Each structure stands twice: as C-alpha cells, then as structure tokens.
Structure 1
Amino acid sequence: MTPEILAALDRAKQEKRPVVLATQLPSGEQRLLPDPEAPADLNDAAARALQRDESGTVKLGGIDFFLHAYNPPLRLIVVGAVHIAQALVPFAAPCGFSVTVVDPRRSFASDERFPDVEISTAWPDEALDEFVPDSRTAVVTLTHDPKLDDPALDRALKSQAFYIGALGSRRTHAARLQRLRDLGHQDNVLSRIRGPVGLNIEAVTAPEIALSIIAEIVAVRRNAPLARDRAGRNLQGA
C-alpha cells in the first residue's frame, strides 16, 4: 500500500466515509473507490461490497480484483429511554449496531434500566450535535414528547442518517410534520421520516414494536423492497 493510499484511507476513516480498497490481482495495483476515474463496473462492485459489508474477489472484464470494504461502524441512536427502547436494544446489538440511548430524564436513562448500554442525558438536539449521525447511523425517537422528539428529528433531518423513525399514531405524526415544517423543513426532506415507525406486523406489545422497528431499519439498510399500505405504514415487499 502506497503512502498516498494509506493517507487517503486514514482520512476516510476519520471522516466516517465508506470506501473500498481495490487491489488488482496479481499485479497488486491499488486504488480507493468510489473514484470518478475508475471504470463504472468497478465502482458498482465497490458499492455492492459496501452495501453487503463483504470483502472478496470479483472478476470484471477478465481481471480479478480483491475488494476490501471499509465501512464506518453501524450506530443506532434511540431518543427516549422507554419500555420499547429496553426491548429494542437487545435486538439492535446482535444486528451489528452500537446503541446509544438519549434521554435527559435521569429516572428513565439509568444504568439499571439499560445495563452495558451507552447513555446520554443531554438534550436530544445537543446529543445529536455531538454524535453527528452519518450514513451508517439510524435515529429513532420514542418519547411521544415534542420537546424531546422534535429537536432530535430536526437534527437528524439535517444529517446523513440512513434511517429516521418516529413513534406515534398517524394523527400524532401529521402534527409532528407540521411542527417540523414550521422549523423550515420541506416535504421532500420530511419524507425521510418513517412514521409511524416500524414495519406493519400488527405489533402491540413493546417487544413486538421493537421487532418491527429493527426489521424496518435492516430492510432500509439492505435496500429491501418496501411498500405502503393504505394506512401509510411500511410493509416489506415480496
């Protein structure tokens, strides 16, 4: 690896920018992808490697390349240390997410309720300013309290978070969207919020709702086909 490529790889890691190190075989020639000067099929193969979090060898135009995917860590920021959050955390960790629970209410955000989980008792907008959600970050708000959820959603919409979800009924969500419009967010931006949050599996209990949320996060991350039913809830497509 040349000093130039090593420096570029280090910069990408510091910036939490996903890249692929492509090594041509057997010559050993290397380049970082995506690269506008690289062949389109090589950039496409790199994008698939990042999407799948998989490194391996591909043959393109009769040439073998080893693609080493360097992805930033997956993160889940949960706003609201509520019962659903307690059920969601155990689902998220085995799926590869580093979880942070944000809630300024110290009686909720306690080590007893969330053992071995990173907890922030900062106000949600301050917490998201600190964490800087990137393209590998999911943000979910669960408090039902506009004083907590709205600032978090405001910051999430200004970030590169790949998933933004908000708990609440359709009526609650409609009112939430209007408040966010009043903060200056346009409808095309607001469409990033998945509300009511989670795939429509007719969930009722906290664990079922948590399951629907992590399922939707994984579906969005994996670019699984999603559809909308008449109620506006998300459904995983066939």
Structure 2
Amino acid sequence: MDSHARVAGVGRRLKTRSAAPAPTPSAPATDDQLFAQLEQWRAEGRGVALATVVRTWGSSPRPEGSHLAVEQGGAFVGSVSGGCIEGAVIGEAQDSIADGKARLLEFGVSDEQAWEVGLACGGRVQVLVERVDDELFGPLLAARRAKRPVAVVSRLADGAHGLVFDDAVAGVLPLDDAQLAETRARLAANRSGALATDEGANEASLFVRCHVGAPRMIVVGAVHITQALAPMAAIAGFDVVVVDPRRAFATAERLPNVEVSTEWPDEALERLQPDAQTAVITLTHDPKLDDPALTIALASPAFYIGSLGSTRTHAKRVARLTEAGLGDAIPRIRAPVGLDLGGRAPAEIAVAILAEVIQARHRR
C-alpha cells in the first residue's frame, strides 16, 4: 500500500498518515450484522466511527458503499479493502471519534503491491471516515430497523449529510430537484455511488449510500433443490423463506437454520407481500402449489419470478395462467428456472437458479 495516503479534512489538508500494519479482516459482514454491532457499541457507551468507500479507480477489492465500523478501542467489523488499508483507516477512525471531524482518505495500490491483496492490477480508493452521532445515525438506524428504504447523501468536502426517502427528505444538506431525482432512482435500484448530476471537471463531491435492507428470496417447495439453494442464497445475502404446506417436507431437519412456513403458498405470499427487493421461485412441480404463488407474484413488483419445469411443463403452465387471465404478465416468469449451466444435480440446479437471480437483481 502506498505510504503517502492523502487525507482531506473539513476544508483543509490534514497530516499525512502512513498505512499502519493492517489487521487481516474476516469475511465482510453483512450490512445488518455491521449495523447491529455498531448499535451494540453505542448502547455500551463507546465512541464509534463509520468508514465508507466512496470512490474507486482501477481494481478494488471492495465496491463503492462498502463499510467498516470502528469503536474507540480499535475493534472493527466490516471491510473497505482486502486488508491492505484497514490499519490506516482504523487509526483515522479513532482520531475522528476523538475530534468529531470527518476525513476523506485516499489510498493507492501499485501494480507490484496489488498481487499481495488479491488484485490483478493496482488502483486507488477514497474512503470517507466520520464519527457516528445521533443527528444522522439516529434516523438512519431507525429507518433500517423499520425496513424503510433510505439513501444517505454525503458531501465529501465536509461530511454534511442529507437523508432521502421515497416520500421525504431530512438533514442539513440541500439538494436540487435533479439531485433528488437521481438519488431516488439510485435508491429504487439499490445502487450506491457518486451523483452524476454533481460531477465537476474532476471529481464528484456528493456520494449516495443506499440502505434498502437485505433482498428476499421466497421459495415455494421444500424440495431437494431447496435444501441446496436456501443456504447458498443466505450466504449471498438473501433473507430466505421456504413455503410448503406439506409438513413432511417442511421440517427443520431438512432445512436447518431456514425460516419455513407451512401455510398454503397463496396465503404465505399474501402475508409476505413480495416487493421490488424480492425473488419468488416455485419448485414443487405441483400446479396446486405453484400456480397460486405465481398468481400473487405476477401481481407484485418482485424483481425475479422463476419456476421449475421443462419447456413442455411450462407450456402447460402458461395455458393455465392464461386461462386465469394473467396472459400479459406471464413473460415475467423465468422458465425453465435458472441459467443454462448444463448441470442436472440438485446443487447444480441451485447454483444456476441463484446465479440467474443475482444477474436479474443487478441488471434491473
């Protein structure tokens, strides 16, 4: 890691800080895990700072919007790199806790050093570090607990913030109509990044971090494919719910550590209310179970709807749903479900399904 990380503060250049020997982080925590730890530290009366990747150039091991939370003693959760800058960021975070000032850090990785941190080539990364206080993080944490989507817009020059909801705006940062429109478009797509409407000659000064909660996956059918798909999807960050009224299938032994509902699929989906962050997948091969779930899913804004079955099976499904008056919505169903990877084993089909869901989520 470059030893001359640039550190920008509130309207002035702060001292240069060398990258300290870095701790080796474990697998990056999910946002929910990170903010739960952040809240626990605050409840214990500890000072906390939050570091956020706000811009990258070239190769970067962590995307824009990635977080690292640090408490005053140096304990941390999350990651802003592959481990190469965490030491320096933790030190700056402790300084930010002490003096309350936001810091904009910039680090560069040379091509020679890149291999050491798992990159194919070098790059640069900017990280905003700020102390966690009630003015911003109180409303943010409340929105996260209520599962209310919100975007935090940060002015990188001084750390000033605005909170943008679907139907409201809060905070001290003024935003014009174009900036609000782009922020809400980013929130709808869950796409953190710099505001394009704010870009000047060189670098943008406003950064949007979207908080929309974990995506959901509702799987109808506690079948053998589901036994592989549910834990894979959970690792990928999805909140998974499996629905199957057949109690012999829907057991904790077959699906350990998975939320399972034995409601009829139409009842379960009416209760769960699929939204734009939800994927619905039917795997039972039984029209009595799959069709009611698909009927509700097709009337929802779910970003992905998939159904197991061959081309012939799907043709019969299309005929039934067309007769039920759903003809215009039927093309939304991905069938046969999953990317065509060529595999036929349950775990291979599960991989194909998860891959297509992830692809659909990021191509919206």
Task: Give the TM-score normalised by structure 1.
Answer: 0.79
Matched, 1:136 2:277: yes
Matched, 1:207 2:357: no
2:162 corresponds to:
30
User: Which range is displaced more, 97-106 or 58-67?
Assistant: 58-67
Give distance in 2, aligned partners of 1:94 and 1:130.
25
User: Which of 286, 295, 309 is the equivalent residue of 1:168?
Assistant: 309
Give distance in 2, aligned partners of 1:156 and 1:104.
18
Q: Secondary structure at the match of 1:138?
A: strand
Give distance in 2, aligned partners of 1:61 and 1:101.
44
1:112 corresponds to:
253
Larger radius of gyration: 2
Q: Secondary structure at the match of 2:254?
A: coil
User: Which of 9, 13, 19 is the equivalent residue of 2:150?
Assistant: 19
Residue deviations 1:156-177, cap 9 Å, x none? 0111111000000111111111
CA-atom RMSD in angstroms: 3.0
Give distance in 1, aligned partners of 2:301 and 2:263.
21
Q: Secondary structure at the match of 2:205?
A: strand
Matched, 1:100 2:241: yes
Give distance in 1, aligned partners of 2:347 and 2:359.
18
User: Which of 286, 294, 300 is the equivalent residue of 1:159?
Assistant: 300
1:235 corresponds to:
none
Q: Which one-letter code corresponds to 1:148 in the other structure?
A: L
1:65 corresponds to:
206
CA contact under 8 A between 2:195 and 2:207: conserved in structure 1?
Answer: yes
Identity %: 48
CA contact under 8 A between 2:279 and 2:304: conserved in structure 1?
Answer: yes
CA contact under 8 A between 1:138 and 1:164: conserved in structure 2?
Answer: yes
> Offset of 1:73 from its aligned partner?
2.0
User: Which of 71, 74, 84 is the equivalent residue of 2:225?
Assistant: 84
Residue deviations 1:190-213, cap 9 Å, x none? 111100100011121111110100
> May I ask how many residue pairs the two structures share in their alignment?
219
Equivalent residues in 2 for 1:171-190 (5 A)?
Answer: 171-187=312-328, 189-190=329-330
CA contact under 8 A between 2:278 and 2:303: conserved in structure 1?
Answer: yes
Q: Which one-letter code corresponds to 1:84 in the other structure?
A: I
Q: Which runs of 5+ in 2 are unaligned?
A: 1-133, 168-174
CA contact under 8 A between 2:179 and 2:195: conserved in structure 1?
Answer: no
Change beyond 3 A, Cα 1:95–1:11 = closer
Q: Secondary structure at the match of 1:77?
A: strand
Change beyond 3 A, Cα 1:53–1:111 = farther
Q: Secondary structure at the match of 1:69?
A: strand
Residue deviations 1:141-191, cap 9 Å, x none? 00000000000000101111110000001111111111111221133x111
> Offset of 1:90 from its aligned partner?
1.9
> Offset of 1:40 from its aligned partner?
3.8
Give distance in 1, aligned partners of 2:150 and 2:213.
9
